[in-house]
Chains A and B, each alone.
Chain A
Amino acid sequence: MLKVRVIPCLDVKDGRVVKGVQFVDLRDAGDPVESAIAYDAAGADELCFLDITASHENRGTLMGVVSRTAEACFMPLTVGGGVRTIEDIRNLLLAGADKVSIMTAAVNDRDFVRRAAEKFGTQCIVVAVDAKKVSETGSPDRWEIFTHGGRKPTGIDAVHYAQEVATLGAGEILLTSMDRDGTKIGYDIALTRAIADAVSIPVIASGGVGSLDHMVEGIRDGHASAVLAASIFHFGEHTIREAKEKLRANGLPVRID
């Protein structure tokens, strides 16, 4: 039986982890590779690097990080952040990423998703959907795509957008509620379910995890195939194992090898 995936996400800036892993004693908590190895050992099902490097000149450091991670961790690695061109995707895949997540470039040019999927295969194209609720209280739920870290509205309906990129060849959707991101009050379940039920590809729920119950809700109520979280793991509040045991106790299938 296919298992629910638990995916820790590391923010990487100029080749260094922004909020480093602190649940084990690492020689260098700022080294993404050391953090990746720690999560590999802890039983994470996949790993996600989100590159938040501001300048394009420093992108080269990310390639080294991805390459060293792929040498040390034999688990799937998704890398996103600042991916704009087919060349960016090629470079990340050649460095050792298994999947590349694209965001703004897909919003600006939907056909980029099709070209990327045709070039590299659906299996490695993840489209990041950053959505915010725009409907008024009392009216039917509606979410829009926001770019620039949730600051810039686009007017694009999030559910329609998700369906569109799925049709164009996205292999997976990384869905982040920009309302919930960083709040620790749980995923936007209505958003997650609206999108997961509207597309035939897997959806990763992201944004707002503050407890293990939130992960259960993301899968059980939000119909996500995977849950992504950052600080809840990095700061040792919970281990990957605890997350999986919680999911299992709620009747959801997990991998504990």
Chain B
Amino acid sequence: MKVAIIDYGSGNLHSAHKAFERAASESGIGGEIIVTSDPELVRTADRIVLPGVGAYADCRRGLDAVPGMVAAMTEAVHDNGRPFLGICVGMQLLADRGLEHVTTPGLSWIGGDVVEIKPTDPTLKIPHMGWNTLDQAQDHALLAGIPTGADGWHAYFVHSFHLQPSSSDTVIATTQYGGSVTALVAKDTVAGTQFHPEKSQKLGLALIANFLRWRP
């Protein structure tokens, strides 16, 4: 199995790379994890990961700046049904639009807009930064064996915007931060986490292993 982590200039992919390698070896799944900006390697990968940090528009611009990348991702996912995982802004890019500062078109793979988090409690800090638990909205292979709910394991979040899906069917898990914040979305072979699995210790490595095992 070949897993391609897409490098489009958005942040450091070193720890994502190492976390996927660790999860692949500890779970016994194995496989080759590559960090690449080559659309051909993405087109032919068995699994694809799209990370992303920073501003929405910058990330979209960065992705579009790699010739043929969006087309390769689209072909792998929509024509060939390859499992795909977006992380943080990589997850937000799955939406129809990002509304951070300016309106930016997303990939429209999961319906909805990326909007500012507005906690009902005004004393809550923005960014939503740190460790939070997940509330599972529906069963999903990516959460297999991961305790959720108030006493569950924790995921590491750092963001000020979140994906507000147009259909609740795509929401797998939320987290509470002065209201409900979208944490994990999925549709067909596409999934995305607002939190950073590569920074979420136990929960993160378990979720990555689940992604490597996932047969949607």
Contacts and interface: CB of A to CB of B under 8 A. Distances in A.
Give the most central of B11, B130, B150, B177: most A CB within 10 Å: B130
Nearest to B124: A2
B12, B124, B153, B154 interface centre (most CB from chain A within 10 Å): B12
Given A3-B154, A76-B199, A121-B54, A172 B129 contact: yes
Contact of A75 (B12, B150, B159, B201): B201
Main secondary structure of the interface of A (DSSP, over half): loop
A96 B53 CA distance: 13
Contacts, number: 104
Contacts of B19: 74
Contacts of B54: 120-121, 123
B35 interface: no
A98 B127 contact: no
B120 interface: no
Interface stretch (B39-47, B68-76, B202-210): B202-210
Interface string A226-244: 1000000000000000000
B154 A257 contact: yes
Contact of B131 (A3, A67, A70, A71): A3
B156 interface: yes
Interface string A97-130: 1100000000000000000001011111000000
B198 interface: yes
A175 to B, nearest CB: 13
A74 B160 contact: no
A76 B11 contact: no
B14 A123 contact: no
Contacts of A34: none
B15 A225 contact: no
Contacts of B160: 122-123
Contact of B127 (A45, A95, A96, A123): A123
A3 B132 contact: yes
B18 A202 contact: no
Contacts of A255: 131, 154
A219 to B, nearest CB: 12
**B interface: dominant SS:** mixed
Which among A4, A76, A172 has the highest number of chain B CB atoms within 10 Å? A76
A50 interface: no
B127 A74 contact: no
A5 B160 CA distance: 18
B158 A123 contact: yes
B125 to A, nearest CB: 5
A85 interface: no
A125 B131 CA distance: 18
Contacts of A45: 130-131
A2 B126 CA distance: 12
Given A67-B14, A96-B12, A124-B53, A74 B159 contact: no
Interface in B184-216: 196, 198-205
A225 B127 contact: no
A230 to B, nearest CB: 20
A254 to B, nearest CB: 9
Contacts of A250: none
A76 B127 CA distance: 15
Given A1-B150, A74-B198, A75-B201, A96 B129 contact: no
Contacts of B150: 1
Interface string B115-148: 0000000001111111111000000000000000
B130 A74 contact: no
Contacts of A202: 125, 127, 129-130
A171 B129 contact: yes
18 contacts: A1-B132, A3-B131, A4-B130, A70-B14, A74-B22, A74-B198, A74-B204, A75-B199, A75-B201, A96-B12, A96-B15, A97-B12, A98-B15, A121-B11, A121-B54, A172-B127, A172-B129, A225-B125
Given A97-B12, A118-B55, A225-B130, 16 more contacts: A1-B150, A3-B130, A3-B154, A40-B201, A71-B15, A74-B200, A74-B201, A74-B205, A76-B199, A94-B12, A98-B199, A120-B11, A121-B55, A171-B129, A172-B129, A257-B203
Interface of A: 1-5, 40, 45, 67, 70-72, 74-76, 93-98, 118, 120-124, 171-172, 200-202, 225-226, 255, 257
